[in-house]
Structure 1
Amino acid sequence: MKVIFIICIIIVIIVLLLSVLTTNKAYQYKHTVDPIKKPEYDDEEKEHHPSN
């Protein structure tokens, strides 16, 4: 019974360490955002566009 309990504790510690390492690596990742581009209208759409 003690052997099973020790094995379970070791597994829990390994899973906890892997979770912490993965979370730290995810927070260190630098995210980038693409700039928003204005929609381009062709001549037909410009005629029907409300801002004109």
Structure 2
Amino acid sequence: MGAYVAVAFGSIVFIAIVIILSLATINKGYSYKHTIDPHPDEEIEKKTKQN
């Protein structure tokens, strides 16, 4: 009976660690600052408007 309790406790701890690491990874991904290069056509339009 004690072995079942130990396995159940170990499983719960393992699942908790996996959930915590998953949440940390998701949080880090959402906090990343994504940048997008401007479209080449927009660059040409800006240059022609400035001249």
Question: Common fold, TM-score beyond 0.5?
Answer: yes
Match of 1:24, as an amino acid? N
Show CA shifts across 1:13-49 (max 9, x none).
00000001001000000000001113xxxxxxxxxxx
Match of 1:12 in 2: 15
| Percent pairwise identity | 39
* Larger Cα-atom Rg: 1
Q: Aligned pair count?
A: 38
Return the TM-score normalized by structure 2.
0.71
Which 4+ stretches in 1 moved above 3 angstroms? none
**RMSD (CA atoms):** 0.6
In structure 2, list runs of 5 or more residues that go unmatched.
42-51
